[in-house]
Each structure stands twice: as structure tokens, then as C-alpha cells.
Amino acid sequence: MKKITLGGGCFWCTEAVFQRLKGVEHVESGYMGGHIINPTYKDICTGESGHAEIIQITYDPDVISLAQLFEIFWTAHDPTTLNRQGGDKGTQYRSVIFYADNKEKTIAEKSIQEVASKLYSDPIVTQLAELTTYYPGEKYHQNYYNGQQSKPYCHLVISPKVGKLKKSFAHMIKEEYK
């Protein structure tokens, strides 16, 4: 198994998308890239901790490649808006890829050039940063969408992203989510 850490705005949104993919073993919401040790959601929400809301994806590279994960990442959020996704504003919602080594960085750079830049006419503002200390999000943030689909934010913001995934990547969806 391998891991990749991505920030694409609200971690509830990205978690819901990536949980549904064949080859993805686990997705955990958390925080990375800031200067406070053991931040809480309250710390993150101020935008002053420097952390991004991220997901850490554990995946089987024999089933789904890192390049495929990046392709889905580009379609799951808008990588052209700096520190913003929809109504969520602040550095905590930035588009970011935290890479563990030069191989991951190279695959990310190639994906930006060959996939993301073809999907969007505006410049890609996704930050590439070395992996730093990972802090898991609070328990109530984990698996959020799957247990809260009737809540307005989930229905209005997350459900369309999941629907887009199912339409564009139907062949990659786990059976239990079809």
C-alpha cells in the first residue's frame, strides 16, 4: 500500500470522492502544512495556523495509480482558485499536493502539465510541498459525508461532486457506491 496527501478545499468533499474508488483502502481527513503542533479544527478555521484541510489516502498502486488519483483530484475541486473552494475561503482550503519523494513530485508536476492544464483555462495554483507532520482530524470529521448526506452542506456541495465522479469515472467506483 502507498499513501498520498492532498488538499482540495473542504476535506469532507475530497474524502467522500476518494472513498468511492477501487483501490483506495482508506481515506482520513486531517491537517498538514502549518506551524501549530496538534492543531484542532478550531485552530484551522481561523486560517492563521497555516495548515490545510487535507486527506491522506491509502491506496493499492496495483489497482489505482498515483496518476489516476491526481486526475480525479483535478476534477474533484477547482485547482485554479487560490485559497478558496466555492464558498469556503482561506488558506486552509488551498489546493495542495504534499509529496513524499521526488517520484511523487515528478508525477504531480506531469499531471499538472498534462491533465489539469488541459481541463482548466485559468492557471493552476495548486501548491506542491514536501510532506510534513500529519495531524488526523477529529473523529467527527472522519467519514463525514457517508453519515451526514441529508445535511444541507452535504446535499448541496458534496453530493454534486460525488455525482460528477460517478459520471466521469464510473468504471473506477467500488460496487457498494454505484
Entry field: residues in the chain: 178
- The pLDDT assigned to 127 comes to 97
- The pLDDT assigned to 33 comes to 97
* H-run or E-run covering 12: helix 11-19
Q: What is the mean pLDDT of residues 81-86?
A: 93
Buried b (16+ CB within 10 A) or exposed e, 152-170: ebbeebbeebbeebeeebe
Over residues 34-82, the pLDDT tens digits come to 999 999 999 999 999 999 999 999 999 999 999 999 999 999 999 999 9
When the pLDDT of each residue in the chain is averaged and rounded to a whole number, the result is 96
* H-run or E-run covering 147: helix 144-148
Over residues 122-151, the pLDDT tens digits come to 999 999 999 999 999 999 999 999 999 999
Q: Percent of the chain at pLDDT above 90?
A: 98
pLDDT over 90 (residue 87): no
Q: Is 114 helix (H, G, I), strand (E, B) or coil?
A: helix
Return the C-alpha torsion angle 64, 125, 94, 82, nearest 10.
-150
Sign, CA dihedral 44-49-52-57, equals negative
pLDDT over 90 (residue 178): no
Sign, CA dihedral 161-24-19-178, equals positive
- The pLDDT assigned to 1 comes to 97
User: How many Cβ atoms are within 10 Å of 35's Cβ, its own excluded?
Assistant: 10
Distance CA 82, CA 95 (A): 7
Catalytic residues: 10
The whole-model pTM stands at 0.96
Residues in a beta bridge with 7: 96
Distance CA 155, CA 121 (A): 28
Structural domains of the chain sorted by starting position, each given as residue range(s) with its CATH number in brackets: 2-177 (3.30.1060.10)
User: How many Cβ atoms are within 10 Å of 3's Cβ, its own excluded?
Assistant: 16
